Structure 1
Amino acid sequence: MSPAPSRPLSVLAALVVALLPLHSARAGKIAINDEAHLNIAMLLQTQAQVIEDAAPLGGVGTDFFLRRVRLLVYGNVNKRLSFFMETDQPNFGKDGNFNAQFFVQDAFVSYEFLDKVSVDVGLVIAPLSRHNLQGAIALNTVDFHSNLVRFTAGVGKVWRDVGVQLRGFVGPLGFRAAILNGQEGVRLDDGTTVNPDDLPRGVAMVRWNFLTREEDLFFQGIYFAEQTHLSIGAGAEYQPNAIASATGKHDSAAFSADVFLDLPFSASQELVFQTTVFHYRQGMNNPQSGTGFLSELGYRFGKVEPVVSAEYFNSRVRAQDAVALRPGFNVWFMKHTFNLKTELALTRVGDLSEAETRLTGTAQVQFFY
């Protein structure tokens, strides 16, 4: 009698046999039946940076690291019920640190109870603006303008929070409205009670699609599309008594307004523009309070695209401002599947009239499949 196979080999064999009857329409997609399917994908973004005055002796520093490593699992159980989950381990190896946290970044189920109207339950992105609802896979720049997305410190995880969201369309009007956990009601060490009534956080966004509806779960920074995308949107966030500072307790409030345009002139030429204004109220003495904006402009010629972006934040606290200009160049070898993005960031932080301009050059190779 031959020895029994080891348990790991038995499990692997059983899994292979179970998957053999399933027909895969494309790599990573497993069709279970006419309505149900499972997708498994990976995102890898590798960055190289050259940073002014970052070397130990004050010279130019270099850094090579994995900006994002994500595993995505998503699909449909039937025509109405779907799910999405992804992990992340950002900045893996940055500054030689390979202890970056591995965590679940998104995890929710969606039920479409009306045509193009769904409810999401789980860990979702707080829907304040189109910019922070973009997918990292489909950005038109190297990265997000993270300095302008200033949710209450310590709330949620990477712009995500746990709760329930209503998402959908009424004609050309798209909407997302979420009730999220937000800042927990808690008594601090100094005796101050933050959010004493333990009320949830509300975040909502509406946008008007003039020509083509953006029905993506995560918006794209560039579509490589034949149809023009033009939309305007506005968002708001509010949670009472969510912040404690030296001047007492404060409500957390945020507002946004944005415009997005993706204008194709032909299959090989495309103009892409977006701009967003943010306003935050988190206490007069809080440097997170203030007003800022971002803008991006690119023009694609076939597989190449020069792009420039800028951002500015005017804090309510003196000498806590920030400004950045980022000219760059993208090469879309295989659109969002495989590309190279570069930029030179010129930034100033603090008192802008006296702050020095810092230079950082970044090149990023993206693979998504």
Structure 2
Amino acid sequence: MYRKILIPLTISACLWLTAAPMSGQFNIASPDGKASLKLGVLTQVQGEWLENADGKTTAQNLFVRRLRLMLGGKIGDRFTLFLDTDSPNLGKAGPNGMRTEASMYIQDLVLTYQVSETWKVDVGKLLVAHSYHSGQSAGSLLGLDYGPYAFITSAPMGMQAGRDYGLAGRGYLAGNHVEVRAGVFQGVRGAGSRNSLRTAARVAWYPWDAHTDFFYPGTSLGNKRVLGLGVSYDRQKDFSIAGADVYLDLPVGGNAVTAQVDFARLDGGNLLPSLAKQDTLFAEAGYLVKSLKLTPYLQYSRRNFKARGAADEQTTQVGLAYWLDGHRLTFKLGIGQIERDGAPDRLQVALQAQLLLF
């Protein structure tokens, strides 16, 4: 057991000693300044030690958790574009021992038109947020990764990481303190593509600093004072998700606290029979010691099925994030336990290094 924890700690120490702060962006602009293009990359490399379901052996993997190529652009004052690709879990072996081969797909394609100072319209392959957490950018997360149920509808719907094709509007009211989102999406088309379209909406209130970007940011590392209260609803035919969440990012005496709680009630109905009726909960909290660039954090996830006798499960993780150069260059260590009714508990140890240039 101690050997499983010692290996990632040793790797982590080596990475910290050899790393150096990085910065910079790659921009191209037209001579008149009315059009511009920005290029970037997100890379996360990871080592993972996870006890197998039998509780007797351990799966060990060194792999690329995420490799994203990013492109941002604008034309004039009203049109903006964000596009990124993803190649997740490159080289990671599954239960059968076969490694994930290189594959790349469009993760996000967000074309935005600024209707007014208050309203925006987005079209493309969009992230449909059921909560603050599921709407966050992967490059600014507090912990190692998203909670296990952040994108729980993706597999049943045949989509990737919570994305869907569609059209959505965003409004920022009351001095940007109230956010309203509503959209229409493809969802599950069915035979003959005759299913009704998927609809989703979200309302959030930010009494302090506000967010006006498409993706929700993670921890600001003590640079912002944010409190967010949100509710969401997503529906197609008899499938539905209702959610509520609270997010806090607060400077405290030169340091900072980041925390959130996200709750969702899901029912796949006849449209998504593999998505049983259930409640999910995600909670996390971290405390940044700014002088050390360190954030110890705690994450907890749980899902409870409505059906009697179904195996409920929960995951707990304690971790440490080292912000060598903010979110540009970060190292994270997480040690957690996965518990499921009727099955052995499983220990998970993961170490991740992130490089973000954008």
Length-normalised TM-score, structure 2 = 0.85
Matched, 1:59 2:44: no
Q: Is the 8 A contact 2:43 2:356 kept in 1?
A: yes
For residues 259 and 196 of structure 2, what CA distance do their matches in structure 1 show? 38
Equivalent in 220, 229, 237 of residue 232 of structure 1: 229
For residues 355 and 58 of structure 1, what CA distance do their matches in structure 2 show? 12
For residues 61 and 276 of structure 2, what CA distance do their matches in structure 1 show? 29
After superposition, give the CA deviation of every residue in 1:59-98 in whole Å (9 maximum; x if it has no partner).
3332100000000011111110011100000000001624
1:63 aligned partner, one-letter code: N
**What are structure 2's unaligned runs of at least 5 residues?**
1-22
Q: Is the 8 A contact 1:127 1:176 kept in 2?
A: no
Equivalent in 122, 125, 130 of residue 120 of structure 1: 122
Instruction: Using CA pairs under 8 Å that are at least 6 residues apart, name the structure with larger relative contact order, 1 or 2.
Output: 2
SS at match of 1:49: strand
**What's 2:261 paired with?**
275
Q: Is the 8 A contact 1:52 1:61 kept in 2?
A: yes
Equivalent in 234, 254, 257 of residue 244 of structure 2: 257
- Write the mapping of 1:316-355 to structure 2, written as runs, cut at 5 A: 316-317=306-307, 318-349=309-340, 352=341, 354-355=342-343
Matched, 1:41 2:40: yes
**What's 2:299 paired with?**
309
**What are structure 1's unaligned runs of at least 5 residues?**
1-24, 188-194, 241-250
Pairwise CA distance, 1:148: 4.5
**RMSD of aligned residue pairs (Cα, Å):** 2.1
For residues 323 and 70 of structure 2, what CA distance do their matches in structure 1 show? 22
Q: Is the 8 A contact 1:127 1:177 kept in 2?
A: no
Length-normalised TM-score, structure 1 = 0.82
2:170 aligned partner, one-letter code: R
SS at match of 1:114: coil
SS at match of 2:134: helix
1:44 aligned partner, one-letter code: T
**What's 2:349 paired with?**
361
2:269 aligned partner, one-letter code: G
1:359 aligned partner, one-letter code: L
Pairwise CA distance, 1:315: 1.1
**What's 1:3 paired with?**
none
Give the count of matched residue pairs. 322
After superposition, give the CA deviation of every residue in 1:293-339 in whole Å (9 maximum; x if it has no partner).
11001000020010000011001233232101011011000110000
**What's 1:248 paired with?**
none
1:253 aligned partner, one-letter code: S
For residues 358 and 130 of structure 1, what CA distance do their matches in structure 2 show? 28
**What's 2:152 paired with?**
150
Matched, 1:84 2:82: yes
Pairwise CA distance, 1:39: 0.7
**What's 1:208 paired with?**
205
Pairwise CA distance, 1:110: 0.6
- Look at both structures and tell me which one has the larger radius of gyration over its CA atoms: 1
After superposition, give the CA deviation of every residue in 1:270-310 in whole Å (9 maximum; x if it has no partner).
00110000100113975532111110010000200100000
